[in-house]
Structure formats: structure tokens, C-alpha cells
Amino acid sequence: MQRLYDFIRRHPTGVDVFWAVFLLGLSGMSMVSGMYDTGREEIVAVPVALGLSTVVALRRRAPERMLLLAILVGVVQLVFDVRPGIADFAMLVITYTVATVGERWASRLALVCSLSAAALSQLRWEAEPGGSWPQVVFVTIIMTVPFVLAWVLGDSLRTRRAYFDQLEERAARLEREREAQSKVAVAAERARIARELHDVVAHNVSVMVVQADGAAYVMDTAPDQAKQALETISSTGRQALAEMRRLLGVLRTGDAPESGEYVPQPDVEQIEDLVAQVRQTGLAVDFKVEGTPRPLPSGVELTAYRVVQEALTNTRKHGGPDAGASVRLVYFDDGLGLLIEDDGRGAAHELYEDGGADGAGHGMIGMRERVGMVGGTLDAGPRPGGGFRISALLPLKPPG
């Protein structure tokens, strides 16, 4: 049965042709049995049967045209006095088909014809000659009901199909939106991890390089200083590994974190330790906190730490020898202010113009992205009198 059902669904026109041939055969049998009284009726009944059989055969391929053909055949029957026969069942079929899949104008036309066909038939061929008008009205209603039911059934099926099509379209649209949102979330997470990795690698590796160069320089003349530099390299490397484990652990969805693998996110209180670490590399840094310290949102604290970290890293990379820096944290009523300055020669102009849009200033790009994510503002550029200045204002409340 399932194979038969699948075959019928795959070959709808073939099924319609089968029923058309069956209907034509029944019509032919009725003609042979002497249904019609006159020879002229029989002659006209042949093309009428052929036309109505064609309507059934092609009803799904061209429903609007087959409806017009059925109306034409009905007019021919009225004009040439060909009484309704078995082939007129095709008019019921085309009414249902047009109401289901036809154009709206064709559906309305089929409804009008369905309401008027029985009345026209009674006027042309009275069922019982000499019958009273209540009998005529009753017969007309009885003959009209099947056509109206066929149209209502087809129109209901059309509405149901349209509803399911709308549901499918909405589900497809929601699926596309969900995929787009997933891609945006993945891209944002990748950008966040890239910024974190850049800050960790750029700062800690630069500290390790400076300490390694210093240790190699004083290895023979000042072994104690070389030993201290190596210890700084060791502690900085451990810190970098711990932060990188934390970042890479974000990518291990579903895995249980190992004990001691992750460390907390850096906060404002660790900026002082960061400054002390930078001082060990030989860069003189003046650090001050103004205002009353108070708890801040975690995103603001991480942003403040990373901005100071990147700014001091840039000072070591671009400030030149004998450069000094200053770090100011200012607590306002509605935000946290950062001011990082140095008196070195400063970075090249293209590294901070438009956030390092030339691809060389990834640190500046990361700083602007971080500050923008918490709704803050950042200004970077050379300061009067030489050197470089980075100022940022981070609001205490998230944007929006």
C-alpha cells in the first residue's frame, strides 16, 4: 500500500488521466444504453464527454483553463439541449481543484458557477414536468449542496496548506537567524580570545625578552642580577602559561577543568603588581590612584588591567632607551578614568591612527574594542612635549 501511495503522489497527472478514461467509458456506456432521446443530442454528447474527460485529465496541470473549458461545455449543453450525464461529474471535480490550487479569481468564478449551475439546470430541464415550485426549489438546493461542499473543502485545504507553508517558512527563517546568531557569537568569542592571547603574549613575552637580554649582559659581571632576571623570567613564564591555560580552557566545552588549571580574571587590584613587574624590566613607572577605590564590574576591571598592560608594553617596545612612564587611576562617581603617559619617542603614527588599521597596531585595536565593549571611550596619540598618551574613561554601568 505504501508503494502504491508513493506512486500516486509521484504521478498525479497519470492518476487523473486514468480517472478521465474511466469517466469517458461510463459516459460511452450511458450513450449506448440510450440515455438521449434524439440523434442530435447523441452527436453533441460525444464532444461534451470528451471535453469533460479532458477537464479531469488536466485539472492539476492547468486548473484555470480547465475551469473555463468546463464552463464552455456547460454552455454548450444548455444551448444544444444536452441533458446532464455522468460526465458532468467533472464539473464537481474541477470546482474542488480550482478552490484548492487555482488562482483566486478562478476560485471565485467556480463558486459563482456552483451556486448558479443547479438553478440553470432546473430552468432548462425540469426534473418533474408540472411539479410545484417548492419541489423545484428543493431539488435545486439538493443539487447545489455538493458543489458548494466541494468548493468549501477545496478552499479549506488551500488555507491549511498556506498555513503550513507559512509555518515552514517561519521555521526556516528562524533557523537561518539562529545560524547567523551562532556565527556572530562564535566570531565575537574568537575576537575576545584573540585579544586576550595578544595581551598575554605581547606583555609577558616582551618582559621575558628584556630580562633575558639583561641576564646575558650581566652574566659574567653581576651573577646576582642575572639570577634575579632569570627568576623574573621563570615567574613571568608561569603566569603567562596559567593565563593561556585559562583561555584555552574556554575552548574545551564539556571537559571538566583540572584542579589549578584556571586562574581568576585580572582586576584593578593587580595593576600594582603589573607595574612592579614592569619596573623589574628597567622601565621607571610612577603609579598613583586618585579617588576612593570601590568594587567595579568585572568587565570594567579586566578592561582597565588590559589597557594598562598594553600601554606599558607599547612603552617598552616603542619608547626607546631611558623612557619613563606614569599610570593614573581616577575613581569618579560614575566611572573609572585611566591615564598612561610616557616621555619616550612614541610609536609610529600609523600604529595608532584609526586604531592601527594598517594591520600593525593590533594592540591599539584590541584596546579600542575592549573599551567600546564596556561603553567607554579611549583617546591615544602623542602628547605635547614628546612621548605618548593613552586616556580612557570606563563607565561603571554597562551600555544600554
- Cα–Cα dist 9/6, whole Å: 5
Query: Which pLDDT score is estimated for 128?
Result: 53
The mean pLDDT of the chain is 80
Alpha helices in 126-270 (DSSP H): 133-218, 223-250
Of the candidates 356, 295, 293, which has an alpha carbon nearest to the alpha carbon of residue 329? 293
Question: For the ranges 5-9, 108-112, 201-205, 336-340, which has the lowest average pLDDT?
Answer: 201-205
Specify the DSSP class assigned to residue 265.
P
> From the centroid of its chain, how far is CA 352?
35
Kindly report each contact of residues 106-115 with a partner whose C-beta sits within 8 Å and lies 24 or more positions away, as own/partner: 106/63, 106/64, 106/67, 107/151, 107/154, 107/155, 107/158, 109/67, 109/71, 110/67, 110/151, 111/148, 111/151, 113/71, 113/74, 114/144, 114/147, 114/148, 114/150, 114/151, 115/144, 115/147, 115/148
Q: What pTM does this model have?
A: 0.49
The pLDDT-based confidence of 251 (bands split at 50, 70, 90) is low
Quote the percentage of the chain above a pLDDT of 90: 17
- Cα–Cα dist 232/212, whole Å: 9
The pLDDT-based confidence of 246 (bands split at 50, 70, 90) is low
Contact 371, 307 (CB under 8 A): yes
Helix axes 89-101, 39-57, angle to 10 degrees: 30
User: b or e along 157-188 (b: 16 or more beta carbons within 10 Å of the residue's beta carbon)?
Assistant: ebeeeeeeeeeeeeeeeeeeeeeeeeeeeeee
Cell of residue 58, nine digits: 488536466
Phi and psi at residue 338, to the nearest 5°: -125, 135
Question: For the ranges 150-159, 237-246, 304-313, 315-324, which has the lowest average pLDDT?
Answer: 237-246
Question: For the ranges 62-71, 325-334, 336-345, 359-368, which has the lowest average pLDDT?
Answer: 359-368
Specify the DSSP class assigned to residue 344.
S
Q: Which residue has the higher pLDDT, 76 or 217?
A: 76
Contact 286, 327 (CB under 8 A): yes
Question: For the ranges 111-115, 143-147, 206-210, 396-400, which has the lowest average pLDDT?
Answer: 396-400
Instruction: Give the mean model confidence (pLDDT) for residues 142-161.
Output: 91
87-145 pLDDT per residue, tens:
888 899 999 999 999 899 999 999 999 888 888 888 887 655 555 777 778 888 888 89
Positive or negative, the CA dihedral 336, 340, 341, 345 is negative
211-235 pLDDT per residue, tens:
787 778 778 788 777 777 787 777 7
Alpha helices in 81-132 (DSSP H): 89-101, 104-124
Quote the percentage of the chain above a pLDDT of 70: 84
Cell of residue 332, nine digits: 569618579
